[in-house]
Structure 1
Amino acid sequence: MPLTDTKIRTAKPTDKAYKLTDGLGMYLLVNPAGGKLWRFDYRYFGKRKTLSLGGYPDVSLIEARSRRDDARKLLAQTPPVDPGAVKKSLKHNIYGKQQNTFEVVAREWAESYFINKSSSHKERTLRRLEIYIFPWLGNRPIADITAPEVLQVIKRPQNQSKLETAHRALQAVGQVMRYAVQNGKAERDVTADLRGALPTPQVKHMASFVEPRQVGELLKAIDGFRGTFTVECALRLSPLVFTRPSELRRAKWSDIDLSSGIWAYRVSKTNTDHIVPLSNQALQILKQIYPLSGHGEFVFMGGHDPKKPMSEAAINAALKRMGYDTQTQITGHGFRAMARTLLHERLNIDPVIIEHQLAHKVPDALGKAYNRTKFLEQRKIMMQAWADYLDELKEAKP
């Protein structure tokens, strides 16, 4: 039932806070201290959020409903607008110059830019800005910031031998600047004047084996490894699927169809859906571990908490126990480079098909982005051929 003024006035506080629901996501939160606060619950791109509409009696029932309806209108737009972000923006407007400081605009940009991206990516980017940018440029009006100022700040991590961090920080500043230009808060992106100002970082390739003999020896060593059954299975599956280590350790049973031999999941790094055709050998490993973890969420459960995935360090730790140097020889991520090289050089697989299986964004001739189902039949054949080839290498005599 909708609320009435009488019901609101007569609502008494209790030992715990409680809600009086009005409808369409709005309710009155009655606190133990006697305060009565209007709240509106909503979802923005699937994420649950709560908007404060003010306190009663300063904000009447009629006014609270009006504010709720305004918020719903924002959410009904195409694309939808987050009423919480709008409120923050208006709040900053009240404080005059505070509204367009670099930090305020950067956080506003982050709320918009990372909607469909992983929370960890957002946290890393904001943390980088908080450490290397905000202390020096955070309180500056973004429209007044100059290229030399940005360069001076960016030089700090470079002088600490953190060249890659400097490049990433500069990239984030540029994204914030372009957002400011698009929203009328700055005239231009001054980072455009800094192209070439930082030396190019040296690309570090993940350690890997690409010689068939080395790969055969590695596979034999993996078969002989003795650790927890979870890590044993994950280690044996790694070269067969050559996904990113983070994707393997977070594999969920809900994403795997053992009957059709398909593993379909969302790649957080590229924000794309991806399909991994499972070879007979891969299916055999998954069926072996199913009795252990099939009742839970993750295929490879954590050793201390089965509700969490296996540790991100587990695969590399196992390789180290086997005597491999993860700096110069092989890492969990190195299985991707191993497959990429040998599939092309030894099995003569089209590089485009390989790149699709690696979940890389590969535009086609028309400029269309990665399609998870493209070359799926060819990829199924490739994945089985790859598994058979690995068996041959493992069985080959020294």
Structure 2
Amino acid sequence: MATDKLSDVALRSIKPRDKQFKLSDGGGLFLLVNPQGSRLWRLAYRFGGRQKALALGSYPATSLSDAREARRKAKGLLEAGTDPGQEKKKRKAAVRAAEEAAENTFAAVAEKYLAKAEKEGRAAVTIGKARWLLNDLAAGLADKLVHEIAPKDVLAVLRPIEARGNYETARRMRSTIGLVLRFAVANGWAERDATADLKGALRAPNVRHRAAIVKPEPLGVLMRAIYSWEGGQPTTVAALKLMALLALRPGEVRGARWDEIDFEKRTWTVPLERMKMRRVHATPLPDQAIAILKELRPLTVRGEGSLIFPSTTSSKVPISENTTTLAMRRLGFGPHQMTSHGFRAAFATLANESGKWSVDSIERQLAHVEGNAVRRAYARGQYWDERVVMMQWWADYLDQLREQAKYTPRQDKRKAMRR
């Protein structure tokens, strides 16, 4: 049987034996049957005076007809003076190189970097912006291998953005591309970060500070307008009030959940995934903030972990980042006068000017990170006791400014537009 041609019927009926054995199909093609049951196609041939064997797959994944076709192709290579075994190794190496190349394109490495950032707890907004910069704006780098990316390649995707006058976007894009390339270097996929040679190559953006009302009288007018707004959504009005009272970032307020509030300890703890600096931040709640939250709670609680400020369309989605900004526009305060972020500037300015509070307490309330590494290592205290007193003072001070405001809401709007 060993010299007979094989058939599908015969192959299907093969049983393993105690020892390995072969079934020949002729022309050097045979089936190797192992005691464990595996059935492997092999082709015996000679090349360069040496006896060799070429693996052609396993049965039944590789059928009898497939094995015979592989034998035919191998014989053709032998007639042309080519070793089919070496040719197979070359094809495997080419496939492997192509797979490695696909894994080391900028697009693939960028996805790996973003996945790492997500595991490290980076905020969803931060990840979303980075993905937009890398996938959409840097699409010209997508198919390039990270170890082949040169400064001119990076500059080629930055120049069109710069030409449109989006200088800050271009600079952020260069920085984000650099993060991906340094990630590639750290993992051995690239030799260097090409963006390092582009310092000074892009036009510096004009620094524009967020508009903010930092004078007591107009701030009182704004607070009166907010507290007198009868037509606003309760969640929007409450969000504006709490931004003013607590000096938190707008995004930290928008995404707040009820399980972050401890009414007994009078504390709001923002988790690190929603903090810009990726550090847990706790803020003391003054009486006014407690009252606002208690009034709002029956309106928005939808179970454990539910949002404090859900949108009007879904209780699972917070109000948008434009909600509070548009609210101030409706109250008559234009984009060059006040932004949602401006409440932080108002607090920082007036709290510092009061001379009542240490700079450290104000900075901790703003969740700023100390720039000096040595000072940061030793200044770990949260100045909590001072912050509790300071935030109650700030809330009382805002009430005082609001009560002293001289204008009705309609008059406030006209006055605000002239400031």
What TM-score do you get using the length of structure 1 for normalisation?
Answer: 0.71
Match of 1:274 among 273, 281, 287: 281
**Where does residue 356 of structure 1 map in the other structure?**
364
Which residue of structure 2 lines up, in the alignment, with residue 38 of structure 1?
none
Aligned-pair CA distance for 1:339: 0.7
Shift of 1:372: 8.4
Of 334, 337, 340, the match for 2:345? 337
Aligned to 1:149: 153
Bigger shift: residues 144-153 or 304-313: 304-313
Deviation of 1:126 after TM superposition, in Å, equals 1.9
1:395 is aligned, of 374, 378, 403, to: 403
Query: Deviation digits for residues 169-219 of structure 1, max 9, x if unmatched?
Result: 111111112112212222221211111111221222111101111111111
Distance 2:301 2:103 in 1: 51
Q: Which residue of 2 aligns with 1:238?
A: 243
Alignment match, 1:263: 268
Deviation at 1:295, TM superposition (A): 4.4
Q: Aligned with 2:114: secondary structure?
A: helix
1:18-48 CA-partner distances (Å, limit 9, x unpaired): xxxxxxxxxxxxxxxxxxxxxxxxxxxxxxx
The alignment of Structure 1 onto Structure 2 pairs a total of residues equal to: 308
C-alpha separation in 2, matches of 1:148 and 1:382: 52
Corresponding residue for residue 164 of structure 1: 168
**Residue type at the aligned position of 1:177:** L
Instruction: Give the number of the structure whose alpha-carbon radius of gyration is greater.
Output: 2
Q: Is 2:254 the counterpart of 1:249?
A: yes
Gap change, CA 1:125 and 1:387, over 3 Å in 2: same
- Between the aligned partners of 1:112 and 1:174, the Cα distance in structure 2 is 15
Unaligned runs of 5+ in 1: 1-56, 59-90
Judge which range, 212-221 or 199-208, deviates more: 199-208
Specify the alignment match of 1:120 in structure 2.
125
Distance in 1 between residues matched to 2:224 and 2:259, nearest whole Å: 31
Answer whether contact 2:151 2:195 (CA < 8 A) is retained. yes
- 1:107 & 1:92 partners in 2: Cα distance? 21
What is the distance in 2 between the residues matched to 1:295 and 1:323? 33
Q: Structure 2: where are the runs of 5+ without partners?
A: 1-59, 62-94, 407-419
The 8 Å contact of residues 221 and 405 in structure 2, kept in 1 or not, is answered as no
Distance 1:192 1:367, change over 3 A: farther
Give 1:194's aligned residue: 198
Structure-2 separation of matches of 1:277 and 1:288: 18
- Contact 1:361–1:370 under 8 Å retained in 2: no
Matches within 5 A, 1:34-113: 95-113=99-117
The yes-or-no answer on 1:375 pairing with 2:383 is yes
Is contact 2:212–2:342 with CA below 8 Å preserved after alignment?
yes
Asked whether the 8 Å contact 1:356–1:370 carries over to 2, the reply is no
Instruction: Evaluate the alpha carbon distance shift between residue 252 and residue 99 of structure 1 in structure 2; reply closer, same or farther with a 3 A threshold.
Output: closer
Q: Specify whether residues 232 and 175 from structure 1 end up closer, same or farther in structure 2 by C-alpha distance, changes over 3 A only.
A: closer
Looking at structure 2, the residues matched to 121 and 311 of structure 1 have their Cα atoms a distance apart, in angstroms, of: 15
Q: Give, in whole Å, the separation in 2 of the partners of 1:176 and 1:158.
A: 21
Aligned to 1:29: none
The 3 A distance-change label for structure 1 pair 103 and 234 is closer
Secondary structure, counterpart of 2:235 in structure 1:
helix
Q: Give the letter aligned to residue 242 of structure 2.
A: L
Q: Give the alignment's Cα RMSD to 1 decimal.
A: 2.4
Aligned ranges for residues 294-333 of structure 1 at < 5 Å? 294-296=301-303, 297-325=306-334, 327-333=335-341
What is the one-letter code of the residue matched to 1:231? T
Distance 1:131 1:181 in 2: 23
Go from structure 1 to structure 2 and tell me whether the alpha carbon gap of 1:94 and 1:290 turns closer, same or farther (over 3 Å shift): same
1:357 offset after TM fit, Å? Answer: 0.9
TM-score (norm. length: structure 2): 0.68
Alignment-mate amino acid for residue 278 of structure 2: N
Matched position secondary structure for 1:272: coil
Kindly provide the CA deviation profile for residues 322-372 of structure 1, in whole angstroms up to 9, marking residues without a partner as x: 1111x1111211111111111101244223221211112225662547988
Residue 291 of structure 2 corresponds to which residue in structure 1?
284
Q: Deviations over 1:244-298 (max 9, x none)?
A: 1122122211110112110001133221101010001111111111222234412
Identity, % of aligned positions:
36
Q: 1:96: Cα distance to partner?
A: 4.1
Q: CA deviation at 1:319?
A: 1.3
Distance in 1 separating the partners of 2:313 and 2:187: 48
CA distance in 2, matches of 1:174, 1:92: 27
Structure 1 residue 117, shift from structure 2 partner: 0.7
- 1:3-42 to structure 2, matched below 5 A, reads none
* Residue number among 206, 210, 213 corresponding to 1:206 in the alignment: 210
8 Å contact from structure 1 (residues 302, 311) kept in 2: yes
Residue 373 of structure 1 and its aligned partner are, at CA, apart by 6.0
Structure 1 range deviating more: 294-303 or 236-245: 294-303
Q: Give the letter aligned to residue 313 of structure 2.
A: H
Deviations 1:95-150 (A, max 9, x none): 2433322222222222223322123322321221122223x222222222221222
